[in-house]
Amino acid sequence: MRLKSSSDLVGHIAGFTSLRDVDLLEMSLLKTVFTTLRPLNVSLISLDTNNIILKRIDYSSEQVGHVSIRIKADDLLLRASEQLDRSTKEYCTLNEGDRAITVYLLSQNRRVSHYICIEAKGNIVTQSDSYQIIGMLRVFQNFRALLTEAQTDELTGLPNRKAFNNVTEKIGEAVVASPEVIECDKRKSSDEPPQFWLALADLDNFKVINDSFGHLMGDEVLVRTAQTIQGSIREDDMVFRYGGEEFAILVSAKEKEQVIQVLERVRQNVEGLDFQRLGKITISIGFTEMKDDVFALTLVETADKALYQSKSNGKNQITYQPTLSQQAYHEDIEDDAELF
């Protein structure tokens, strides 16, 4: 099947630009290309300078939205990426036996290149197809940049509270649910789903810093704290600016002890910062386990209770608060808090 007219192209573009979520936008793009050309597979690929695919999202009749992380790139993809690097063209097609891939460059920086790759039996992508796909990709890139900007904190560069809400909603649902990508519900994965823990971290005495040293110093503290937290967590963890001097951290770990190690590293590294005139700062942290049967709002409230315990017990420490079921949530759980 091919796009029969410019109105078909406009219809597809209108479909994926109606979305307000980067992940759904990517899935909608893959679906559009797949349903247009009917190849074996369409994928979004992030390839680093060590020839490792950091992330790959596949869309085919058998794998809808399947995500692979940190896998070695095959030779055909590497040859295509090298050819694109040397060429002024925006795409290239290579064949290996009866297999053909057409690769389009989406974006590139010093460390990572992003591609869309179409794999088929034989070269099914015509020059006319490529012109239409390039047009869609340009709209996609511009719209993704707008969505990313809307979910990024301007001061610290971290994902903002809106991004946090989107991510926690997805973690709670375990799958992406949308009319545009409802097939994601059918995706197959043998991997055990990751376990996440929610931590809220709040700078101690931040109001005093602003009042005594001014808002410019306060902004510097926020920026360096954000950088320090980002540098202290692992690749699978995430940090957000939740609001004001508060940060939300999602830690991927099976055991509580692993979470404590990550958060203790955050606490120590923030305490190790030194500011001219201001000196040292500290941060208090509260965390809880994220469970499928507990609302996101309840999880935040539980982590906030743990954070309050850290503040009340002298600040600059970590407290764990267990997440209870909805039935037990309104009971008094203060005695269950653990300080570290």
Note if 183 is an active site residue: no
326 three-class SS: coil
Residues 312 and 156: their CA atoms lie apart, in Å, by 27
Distance separating alpha carbons of residues 158 and 148, to the nearest angstrom: 11
d(CA 56, CA 65): 9
Name the helix (H) or strand (E) containing 241: strand 238-243
d(CA 120, CA 105): 18
Cβ–Cβ contacts within 10 Å for residue 115, how many? 23
Choosing from 149, 245, 331, 334, which is the catalytic residue? 245
Query: Which residue is it, tokens 């079921």?
Result: 325
Q: Rounded CA gap, 145 and 50, in Å?
A: 26
Query: What is the Cα–Cα distance from 186 to 103, expressed in whole angstroms?
Result: 26
What string of DSSP letters covers 258-317?
HHHHHHHHHHHHHHT--BTTTB---EEEEEEE--TTS-HHHHHHHHHHHHHHHHHTTSSS
* Among 133, 314, 168, 332, CA closest to 251: 168
Catalytic residue IDs: 245
